[in-house]
Amino acid sequence: MVAPAPIDPWQRRRRRAAAIVVGAGVLGLALWVGHGDPEAQPPAVQAKEGGGFDALRLAGPDVAVAEGPAEALSAVAAEAGEEIEACGGGWVRVDGDEKRVAADIDALILAKRDQVGRVTLAAMRASADERVRAAALYYQSRLAFFSTQSDVGDCKGADCARKLEAQLLLPEAHRDDLARLAQSSTDPIVYGWAVAACRSARGSPTCQLLSAAQWARLDPENAVAWLALADEARARRDAQAVDDAMFHVASARSYDHAEAKLSAVILDHAPADEASLLGVAEMAARGYYFLAADTALISPPPVPYCRAKDLDDSNRRETCERIANLAAERSTSYWGQYTGRVIGKALGWPSERLKRLEDERRAYAALRVDRSGEPKEMLSCGRARAEVELIRNVADHGEVETARKAIVAMGRPVHERAEDAQRGPAVPSASPSMEAAASSVAAEATQASAVAR
């Protein structure tokens, strides 16, 4: 068997500009890139080069997505001979060859991440705290899994499927150690991480001992765990079990994917000196997006359950009304909130309420869709520090509340920020490394899960 060639997500982004549509067999939800009626089609999911997290998680078809930093490199191509110092040390020469400059930036950032990772993961593995040890195992498991995936842009046909199938059957020590840890754990976060890591481990006997049912028992008030149970029931075509799981989704008090909690643990154990800052930001960003992709796949949104054509049944309609209210008003994530809006439209919610939710979504997009950045900015301590602060805020407050606070701080009404998103990105924020990780993880997780299904 020939192992799939390692692929770095930054290199993929600059090699290939492609939209990736995640189908119903992966998320349990048909997702299209294009215009249409949200009553009939859920939010578009687009993982474009430079698109990253916002395109993956919330962008509708009419939200503009800027090009990535590769284009920005051409703007400095004339600055022949200039050297840029990276945060914490290291130099990149800007000599007009944008591909070489991009490769040098990649290499420098990844080297800093790996250096920080060795220290940080050692500290986490030595912790007496079960969740901290679990975070280290999850991060190492996903880093190993995603780094050995085929390049999905170049991988086609039966040969591609065989390679991905083989990857799902490979043993992975960190993943199996995490699964063993979760079996005796009463921490729903630890258990959820293990379920997430095991989604790509069909050949692991240890992973087969985990279940969404146990996760839901440990976290009965969180809709996300019940969505995972509903997805298991749907896979085995057990309609009654799907109904029961969706009843619990509707009865939940929270809709929390908690993607940033892993990265918050990483940040708590990473070196705090400026020399490590660029690597710390990159490591935290990777952890964030590994978990975001995994969680979206194991706990797919309930939109197919609440299609307009199925809402004549009064019991189904009542369940979906409660799910939509929970997702739209209490979800901590953009994705969850937009899911609520899509279901709300199918239910016939008032246009004023739908517009308010849509304006909020567009306002969030305007805050975070800019992917431009010159090399000097990409390697700056200021940008790395902003990434770390963003992840900590999301870990503490969730994506939605973090964005709301940012909008309030800008002193502009939500509808004006929504109009910014209509016109296109204007406000720089998330770093290229975070965006690149998002595109890579989304693509790789999509392909691997398609095989697993």
Condensed to tens digits (0 to 9), the pLDDT of residues 171-204 reads: 588 999 999 999 999 999 999 999 999 987 766 8
Task: Measure the CA–CA gap between 191 and 211, rounded to whole angstroms.
Answer: 9
In angstroms, how far is CA 135 from the centroid of its own chain?
A: 16
Beta bridge partners of 94: 82
What is the structure's pLDDT at 83?
86
Helix (H, G, I), strand (E, B) or coil at 79: coil
Residue 193 CA to residue 445 CA, distance in Å, equals: 15
The region of weakest confidence among 109-113, 127-131, 290-294, 375-379 is 375-379
Residue 165 has a pLDDT of 62
Mean pLDDT for 281-304 is 91
Highest mean pLDDT among 52-61, 126-135, 374-383, 403-412: 126-135
Average pLDDT over residues 93-116: 86
Identify whether the C-beta of residue 436 lies closer than 8 Å to the C-beta of residue 113.
no
- The partner residues of 85 in beta bridges, in order of sequence, read 91
**Res 112: pLDDT:** 94
pLDDT at 135: 97
In a 3-state reduction of DSSP, which class is residue 94?
A: strand
- 202-254: per-residue pLDDT in tens? 668 999 999 999 999 999 999 999 999 999 999 999 999 999 999 999 999 99
The model's pLDDT over 340-379, given as tens digits with 9 standing for 90+, comes to: 999 999 999 999 999 988 888 877 776 653 434 677 788 8
Whole-model pTM?
A: 0.74
Residue type, 288: Y
Calpha distance 441→449 (Å, rounded): 12
How far apart (Å, rounded) are the C-alpha atoms in residues 311 and 435?
37
Q: By the 8 A CB rule, do 224 and 302 touch?
A: no
- SS3 readout for 138-176: HHHHHHHHHHCCCCCCCCCHHHHHHHHHHHHHCCCHHHH
What's the confidence (pLDDT) of residue 156?
A: 64
Query: In which band, very low, low, confident or very high, does the pLDDT at 34 lie, cut at 50, 70 and 90?
Result: very low
Neighbours of 246 (CB within 10 A): 24
**pLDDT value, residue 148:** 65
Length of the chain: 453
Q: How far apart are alpha carbons 274 and 385 in whole angstroms?
A: 9
Q: Which is more confidently placed, 174 or 8?
A: 174
DSSP string, 41-64: S-------TTTHHHHHHT--TTS-
Mean pLDDT of the chain: 74
Tokens 């090699």 locate to 15
Residue 34: CB atoms within 10 A of its CB come to 10
Phi-psi region of 307 (alpha: psi -120 to 50; beta: other; left: phi over 0): beta
pLDDT above 60 for 332: yes
**What does the block give as tokens for 261?**
């909690």
**pLDDT of 259:** 85
Cβ(261)–Cβ(288) below 8 Å: no
Q: How far apart are CA 116 and CA 235, in angstroms?
A: 40
β-strand partners of 370: 428
Mean pLDDT is highest, among 78-82, 119-123, 307-311, for 119-123
